[in-house]
Amino acid sequence: MELFFRKYGQGEPLIIIHGLYGSSDNWVSIGKKLAENFEIFIIDQRNHGKSPHSSDHNYTVLKNDLKEFMDEHSIEKAILLGHSMGGKTAMFFAAENPERVSKLIVADISPRSYKTTNANQLLSHTAIIRAMYNLDFYGINSRQEIDDILSKSIPENRIRQFLLKNIKRTEKNEYSWRINIKAIKNELVNIMAGLNEDQQRITKFSVLFIKGENSEYILDEDRKTIAKIFPFAFIKTIPNAGHWLHAEQPELFLKEINNFILE
DSSP assignments along the chain, one per residue:
----EEEE--SEEEEEE--TT--GGGGHHHHHHHTTTEEEEEEPPTTSTTSPP-S--SHHHHHHHHHHHHHHTT--SEEEEEETHHHHHHHHHHHH-GGGEEEEEEES--SS---STT-HHHHHHHHHHHHHHH---TT---HHHHHHHHHTT---HHHHHHHGGGEEE-TTS-EEESS-HHHHHHHHHHHT----TTT----SSEEEEEEETT-SSS-TTHHHHHHHHSTT-EEEEETT--TTHHHHSHHHHHHHHHHHH--
* Predicted pLDDT at 27: 98
| Candidate list 18, 57, 243, 246, residue with the active-site label | 243
pTM, to two decimals: 0.95
What pLDDT does 133 receive? 96
- Give, to the nearest 10 degrees, the angle between helix 181-191 and helix 120-134: 170
By the 10 Å C-beta count (0-12 exposed, 13-18 middle, 19+ buried), 165 is classed as middle
Q: State how far the Cα of 194 lies from the Cα of 72, in Å rounded to an integer.
A: 27
> pLDDT tens digits for 157-171?
989 999 999 999 988
Residue 116: how many other CB atoms lie within 10 Å: 11
Of the chain, the percentage scoring pLDDT greater than 70 comes to: 98
Cα torsion through 96, 101, 88, 132, rounded to 10: -120
User: Is the pLDDT at 118 greater than 60, yes or no?
Assistant: no
Catalytic residue among 24, 84, 110, 206: 84
Indicate left, alpha or beta for 227 from its phi (over 0: left) and psi (-120 to 50: alpha). Answer: alpha
pLDDT at 201: 86
* Annotation marks residue 243 as catalytic: yes
pLDDT of 200 over the 80 cut: no
For residues 234-242, give the mean pLDDT. Answer: 96
Evaluate if residue 116 carries a pLDDT over 90.
no
- Find the distance separating the first CA and the last CA of the chain, reported in whole Å: 35
Asked if 206 is an active-site residue, the reply is no
Domains, the chain, ordered by start: 5-114+195-261 (3.40.50.1820), 120-189 (no CATH)
Residue pair 200/95 in contact (Cβ under 8 Å)? The answer is: yes
118 versus 105: the higher-pLDDT residue is: 105
Mean pLDDT for 72-83 is: 98
Q: Which amino acid belongs to residue 192?
A: M
pLDDT bucket at 122, cuts 50 / 70 / 90: confident
* pLDDT of 117 above 60: no
What's residue 149's pLDDT? 95
Q: Mean of the per-residue pLDDT values for the chain? A: 94
pLDDT, tens digit (0-9, with 9 covering 90-100), for 27-54: 999 999 999 999 999 999 999 999 999 9
Residues 76-86 have a mean pLDDT of 98
Res. 196 pLDDT band, cuts 50 70 90: confident
Question: Nearest to residue 49, comparing CAs of 26, 72, 33?
Answer: 26
